[in-house]
Amino acid sequence: MNRPIPFGVGRPADTDRNDIADVMQQVAHGDKEAFSALYDALAPLVFGIVLKVVRDRAQSEEVAQEVMIELWRQAARYRPDAGSVTAWAATVAHRRAVDRVRSAQAATDREHAQAAREHTTAFDEVAEQVETRLESEQVRRCLRGLTELQRQAVTLAYYQGLTYREVAASLRTPLPTIKTRMRDGLIRLRDCMGVTT
């Protein structure tokens, strides 16, 4: 194995750029010592870029590690003619950091939406129960305002599902009388309930 040349030891910047490209070539061939040198050279840059985007130190450390692992795995894809190793690492770091921020924001949005749905559902159930109870009380109160025959006829027809004929037979009252009492009873109920037509 070839030992990588340390960067920046009394050399011009162009030489450093060539050295890091050579080290990247060695990393592409699976050289772990070369990766150690690459890591030492790029990790501070990668961490700085990630920290500026993510703004949380612990998450930034995690994302920077992911970037360095990606550089190790993707080293064979690096092409010197497309740009410097540093530019490539910076691009990967920025993209990964933005992905983390977007992922965290999406998770937060999902949690808020779920909490809102749960809260709204609970509120709607309570409101619906209260409304149903109030309406039931109002119907009972209005039914008490009907005559006995009207109340019996309406109750049999609407709560037990009987037809006019079945109500008349059940109450032993002529059919025309039942129809009239139900019509009058429903008009009184409508007025008592405050329903407008």
Helices 13-28, 85-144: crossing angle, 10 deg rounding: 70
Q: What is the pLDDT of residues 110-167, one digit of tens each?
A: 998 888 777 655 556 777 787 788 788 888 888 899 999 999 998 898 888 899 999 9
* Mean pLDDT of the region 160-178: 92
pTM above 0.95, yes or no: no
| Closest to 145 (Cα-Cα) out of 184, 180, 197 | 184
- Rg of the chain on CA atoms, in Å: 40
| Closest to 150 (Cα-Cα) out of 110, 107, 190 | 190
Q: Which pLDDT score is estimated for 114?
A: 87
Rounded Cα distance between 36 and 3, Å, is: 10
Which alpha helices (DSSP H) does 9-84 contain, by range? 13-28, 32-54, 57-74
